[in-house]
Structure 1
Amino acid sequence: MLKKSIPFLLLLFAFKTIQGQELTATKLLDRSIAYHDPEGNWKQFQSILHINLEMPDRPTRKSEVYLNLPKQVFGLKTIQDTITTYRKLENGKCSFSLNGKTELDSTEIKKHRADCERTTMYRNYYTYLYGLPMKLKDPGTIIDPKVEKREFKGKEYLVLRATYDKNVGTDEWYFYFDPETYALKVYQFYKDKTKNDGEYILLTDELETNEIKLPKTRVWYYNNNDGYLGTDDLEKVVDINK
């Protein structure tokens, strides 16, 4: 009786192996997007993100990030200690103010990086990280077709590797997904992996707005020594249209 059961067990094992191999990078990404943005609302995102950033030996930085994706309008107000800055990018035009003052001298402009290049960088930063994993569908993103199973900080994940066209970016990114829910739990990037540089970011808790699940708390560390960089907390999201 035992001998007869062996071929069946082998067949069952083979079937499970094939099932596991069926999860391609495309399917994993689609499942994660279905978890975070089941109604496909990200492209119409119009809200203000209220974010508190805690860093070692620095005062808390409070940010209000204005994102109107359909109209391509970005605004960022930051308050840290006694300094309040506001920058905006709309229709290719940038503006900047420092404690309410818009006429700045060259020293102030340099110190606070009150230029359009910096504002564009902030726009890309916030729309990319809060738009994950949906942003991995953007043109210029190259997803490795292989899904890797990896243990990271004592937990098992399904991992996607992403690189980018040269005109989009040069960093190498890894995205870690919960193997059961497909929620995005960690992301990690390298500028030069051979040097183990770059950072990893742990995502905990979620805040749901307009049926989109956003990471509430992100904790940042260096790859090379696990050094703590900071924690940003998404305090609330305010719908622009309400």
Structure 2
Amino acid sequence: MKYTLTLVLSFVLNAAALSQDLTASELLERAIAYHDPDGQWVTFNDAFTVVMTRPNSPKRESRVAINLPEDYFSLEAERDTITTQYIIDQSDCQMLYQGELIDGTVAQSTDMSCERGAMYKNYYTYLYGLPMKLRDPGTNINHPVEQKEFQGKQYLVLKATYNADVGSDVWYFYFHPETYALQVYQFYKTNESGEMLPDSGEYILLSEEATVSGIKMPKVRAWYYNKDNQYLATDTLVD
């Protein structure tokens, strides 16, 4: 028992010392080296399928295609035999419902819009491009690296805030203290004064990995509310 406690104490002290030595930029570079060891993200051009499951709701299967050099994005989703697709090709937006190209008038009845398509583009590119996306202009990571315990595990934590034209949420990214793998992220909303709202937002637990074009992405992402730990949904990368 004493031996086990000594090992645990040693691990915690070493992690704390490491968090004091690393700057935010250094931690980010080590995390990127783990997830994107060959620097493939900037030329990413691939597709993958994500299955979302949530309580009391049919699953949604989404085929995501991202071509960063060409500024191209496509999302084809199927739920309950209904298929929708957004294609964002640079500034051009197309929407398809049940395989048929639709215009803005029809889109209103299907709850589709080019604004929603742009939101999906940002959503998938951001979450599956982490931690590399933390290099983007308007992202501020010049905060001290923290050592935190979350659900019984120790992490090195990076805080990110954003310029007003990018976003208002406050994000925390939890990295394994030895491998620097991203394993949890968490965000909070802010009020009009920029103050973080502690009962807002969600946290996302990452587990398993899938390698897509040389990049280690989370295979499973489970979403929960911060305020009460209520489970929301799970996204699973299937290919």
- The normalised TM-score by structure 2 is 0.88
Structure index of larger Rg: 1
1:179-190 to 2 correspondence within 5 Å? Answer: 179-190=177-188
Cα separation, 2, equivalents of 1:59 and 1:17:
44
Do the aligned partners of 1:162 and 1:173 also contact (CA within 8 Å) in 2?
yes
Shift in alpha-carbon separation, 1:146–1:114, aligned structure 2, 3 A: same
Answer yes or no: is the 8 Å Cα contact 1:56–1:229 preserved in 2.
yes
Structure 2 distance, partners of 1:64, 1:200, is 24
In structure 2, distance between residues paired with 1:28 and 1:47: 27
Distance 2:197 2:100 in 1: 45
Give, in angstroms, the shift of residue 17 of structure 1: 8.1
Residue number among 169, 192, 197 corresponding to 1:194 in the alignment: 197
Structure 2 equivalent of residue 110 of structure 1: 108
Give yes or no for contact 2:16–2:147 (8 Å, CA) kept in 1: no
Q: Which residue of 2 aligns with 1:145?
A: 143
- 1:229 maps to which residue? 232
Q: Find the aligned partners of 1:139 and 1:100 in 2 and give their Cα distance.
A: 36
Q: How does 1:64-143 map to 2 (within 5 A)?
A: 64-103=63-102, 106=105, 108-143=106-141
Q: Which residue of 2 aligns with 1:11?
A: none
2:175 — aligned with what?
177
CA positional deviation for 1:102 = 2.0
Number of the residue aligned with 1:214: 217
**One-letter identity of the residue aligned with 1:207:** A
Asked whether the equivalents of residues 144 and 160 of structure 1 are also in contact (C-alpha less than 8 Å), the reply is no
Secondary structure of the 1:47 match is: strand
What does the per-residue CA deviation read over 1:161-213, in whole Å, with 9 as the maximum and x for residues that have no partner?
A: 10100111111000000001000000000113334200000000000122210
Distance across 1 between alignment mates of 2:209 and 2:16: 33
> Equivalent residue of 1:121, what SS?
helix
C-alpha contact 2:207 2:218 (8 A) present in aligned 1: yes
TM-score, scaled to structure 1: 0.87
The percentage of counterpart residues that share the same residue type is 50
Q: Match of 2:22, SS? A: coil
How far the C-alpha of 1:18 sits from its partner, in A, is 6.9
Equivalent position of 1:240 in the other structure: none
Alpha carbons 2:40, 2:213 under 8 Å: kept: yes
Cα RMSD after superposing both structures:
1.8
Which residue number corresponds to residue 168 of structure 1?
Answer: 166
Gaps of 5+ in 2: 1-14, 191-195
Query: Relative to 1, partners in 2 of residues 1:204 and 1:19: Cα closer, same or farther, differing over 3 Å?
Result: closer
